[in-house]
Chains A and B, each alone.
Chain A
């Protein structure tokens, strides 16, 4: 008998007033009982609309049925057939716009908690699982993968499973891309990302860190080194600034810098870790996406009293996940909506002392369908803050494109075929944020998967 409850089994979380002072994970995950109870809400529909909503087509009803039967390791293996990073996806995918959006149970009540169940299976395996995968038989062909974020990790592991000898080149000292430097510990524990990466290494994937492609090797030189195909998954790591006066004052950060200091360099543990970070009593975070939420919630955890999200549209237009906005509010983050910064004010010795803003009204919808904000006359006001974090987006880093003649780009992103990731250079594929600009982890993974398939077909056709 299915569990006909209209609502998801709630997931335990740390109390908001406790967790906003630590960097431990907010959501604590299901117990075995909770997972089995929630799994029983799945109707195991014949047409499986949820699967089509997943960019990597996880066999959702199948793995959920296995959880319902208490076969947790089997459930994990079922997910792993198509998804290489389940512990990560279960935590950071926007399920409400992907798999769970199409769940039949969502028509009259809440959808099945697919993300939470995926996370449960992955966590259960990490704690209790034993099976390490046999190394696939090598087919003698080599593929270079640039970057080690979600797109690259997915592409690399799919290719390794097919027998390719895969080398990942990562610029930073640890692999993982945005999973390591961008998404905070309290949403995605780094130990867990490391564990997922280790399972990929078990497939025989080699990861070379401290390698900035474009500087240490060009794309052509990688070919000369004997790689038969190349996948570029270098992400969108170039921060945008607002180009308003005062942006270079002391105390103004890009969200990338702020989060990299905290997540990658563990500045929250200064001086035990050597990298410092500075947070004032009052902090303004400019932007309304997930990165803005992450920065604001991190600032709060570093002891800031008042953390403002300054966003020029209304809450309905915020690109951040509802869950993250909800979490931020619970933790005491203050939303300054329909507010746009015009300049950052400094003290005589050059430190931030405030941010001047104007109020906005929503006008006619623009090309993107969102109502365009218009400045309200005479609404200038100053928010007293000592720290400003700019989180208005990132664009692809030009390091590779600028050193690769013949690689076509548009708006800074690499032009790649939507279905294969093929670029303007034969044998060179690209996917993830490097192509689309900043998007989601799961879309990057979907792109990595498609490219792996296309690279396999390309290299098979070549012999």
Chain B
């Protein structure tokens, strides 16, 4: 069992939890993920490692409540325990010969971009971070990102924080202003990573994206998480989750992500209806 030692609500849908998992914390690196199971009939879901503390033996996860499992997870409190928590899984991110980088987070993707920015910053890289949200109430990790960035741009789709626009607009401006990036890291919804990859391609800027396909085991034994990269089939759980954004078949990935839409809705409805029953009882 894995104890929740800290819980923090970042915005109405996004929660942060520090989980006591010393073995995972000891080996975790930015770019890696864990798989957890909340309870006995639960499914296994992958979540990226948002931070870790080797001395405290904790791993931080940040998740958005989008379906049954993340809602069940979000309902847990400090002191509660998770049934299963396995990791660190996937390949750690590798940064070499980077002097200046742009790190881009879309919504919840900011939580995954944060450890990458932190790592680059600690290596002495000049980090420009761009984080985009739908509106100002959804902004997360502003202070944390600020602490590890030389420049931070936070945008909202509706302009409610006074800085309207998409992350891609900001990146485009920065590039056109003459910023020479050795690396762009884009993490967020598939469509946003696709747009960023298409934007950087003509400039020849190396672009890394973090894929988030459906996963079961996370150890390479099923291929449920397969993505096409450079025309080849890769398993995101062992070959990734980081890939070269210019090589990824995003359209296929977006299509594969919809595979269980109907079932996800059904599972969620059943969950909500059960919650309703409990409330009325």
Contact = CB atoms under 8 A, between A and B. Distances in A.
A239 B223 contact: yes
Nearest to B268: A271
Nearest to B227: A248
A350 to B, nearest CB: 4
A274 B267 contact: yes
B37 interface: yes
B194 to A, nearest CB: 16
A210 B42 CA distance: 15
A260 B233 contact: no
A18 interface: no
Given A173-B86, A247-B233, A276-B267, A256 B255 contact: no
Interface string A76-96: 000000000000000000000
A273 B223 contact: no
Given A216-B27, A272-B41, A273-B41, A257 B263 contact: no
A169 B35 CA distance: 17
Given A239-B223, A260-B216, A275 B84 contact: no
A147 B37 CA distance: 20
Given A265-B216, A271-B270, A274-B43, A239 B263 contact: no
A232 to B, nearest CB: 15
A175 to B, nearest CB: 13
B83 interface: yes
Given A254-B222, A265-B216, A272-B41, A248 B252 contact: yes
Contacts of B15: none
Contacts of B222: 239, 254, 256-257, 260
A278 B259 contact: yes
Contact of A212 (B83, B86, B226, B258): B86
Nearest to A239: B223
Given A256-B221, A257-B222, A270-B263, A173 B228 contact: no
Interface in B234-266: 238, 252, 255-256, 258-260, 263-264, 266
B44 interface: yes
A46 interface: no
Contact of B223 (A171, A211, A256, A269): A256
B89 A350 contact: no
Nearest to A275: B43
Contact of A350 (B226, B255, B270): B255
Contact of B219 (A248, A261, A270, A397): A397
A173 B37 contact: yes
B233 A248 contact: yes
Contacts of B228: 248
B181 interface: no
A250 B258 contact: yes
Interface string A242-268: 010001101101101100110001100
A439 interface: no
A397 B44 CA distance: 20
Interface string B10-35: 00000000000001101100000000
Nearest to B267: A271
A409 interface: no
Contacts of B43: 265, 273-275
B89 A278 contact: no
Range for the number of chain B residues in contact with chain A:
35 or more
B84 A173 contact: yes
Interface in A276-321: 276, 278
A272 B263 CA distance: 12
Interface of chain B: mostly helix, strand, loop or mixed: mixed
A438 to B, nearest CB: 12
A257 B216 contact: yes
B35 to A, nearest CB: 9
Contacts of B189: none
B220 interface: yes
B214 to A, nearest CB: 10
A399 interface: yes
Contacts of A274: 41-43, 68-69, 267
- Of B221, B238, B256, the most chain A CB neighbours within 10 A belong to B221
A362 interface: no
B224 interface: yes
Interface string B164-192: 00000000000000000000000000000
A216 B223 contact: no
A241 B258 CA distance: 22
A216 B24 contact: yes
A54 to B, nearest CB: 29
Given A212-B87, A215-B89, A278-B260, A397 B221 contact: yes
Contact of A261 (B85, B89, B216): B216
B217 interface: yes
B105 to A, nearest CB: 25
A57 interface: no
A17 B106 CA distance: 52
A350 B252 contact: yes
- Of A275, A397, A398, the most chain B CB neighbours within 10 A belong to A275
- Of A171, A209, A216, A243, the most chain B CB neighbours within 10 A belong to A216
16 contacts: A210-B86, A211-B86, A239-B221, A241-B233, A251-B259, A256-B223, A257-B222, A257-B224, A270-B263, A270-B267, A274-B68, A276-B260, A276-B263, A278-B260, A278-B263, A350-B252
Question: Nearest 10 CB-CB pairs, A to B?
Answer: A276-B263, A257-B222, A237-B221, A274-B43, A210-B86, A350-B255, A173-B84, A275-B43, A254-B223, A273-B41
Given A239-B222, A257-B224, A271-B267, 16 more contacts: A215-B87, A215-B89, A216-B87, A216-B88, A239-B221, A248-B228, A250-B259, A254-B222, A257-B222, A260-B217, A260-B221, A266-B41, A278-B259, A349-B255, A397-B221, A399-B219
